[in-house]
Structure 1
Amino acid sequence: MSQAASGDARCRVCAAALAPGSARCPQCGADQRAEACPHCGGVAGVSAHPELRFRCDACGGPRVPVDGGRAKRSGREVPLLQKARAAASARSVWRAAGIAASALLGFEVFLFAVMLLVLSASVGLFAAGLLTMAPVAAFALWAFRRAKSRGRDVAPALDAAWVSVASDVARQAERPLTAGALASTLRIGESQAEELLALLEVNDVVRGAVSPAGEFGYAPRLRVGAAHAGEPEAERAAHALAAEEEALADVPLTQRTAHVEPTKR
Structure 2
Amino acid sequence: MNAQPGRLWVVATPIGNLEDLSGRAAQILRDIPLVAAEDTRHSAPLLARIGSRARTIALHEHNEREQAARLVESLLQGTDVALISDAGTPLVSDPGFRLVRAAREAGIAVSPVPGPCAAIAALSVAGLPSDRFVFEGFLAARASARRERLGALVAESRTLIFYESGHRIVDALKDMRDVFGAQREGVVARELTKIFETVIDAPLGELVDRVEADANQQRGEFVVLVAGASGEAADATLAEGRRVFALLCEEMSPAHAARMAARITGAPRKQLYVASGD
TM range (shorter): under 0.3
The TM-score, its normalising length taken from structure 1, stands at 0.27
Determine which structure has the larger helix proportion and give its number: 1
Determine which structure has the larger strand proportion and give its number: 2
The TM-score, its normalising length taken from structure 2, stands at 0.26
Which of these two proteins has the greater Rg computed from alpha carbons? 1
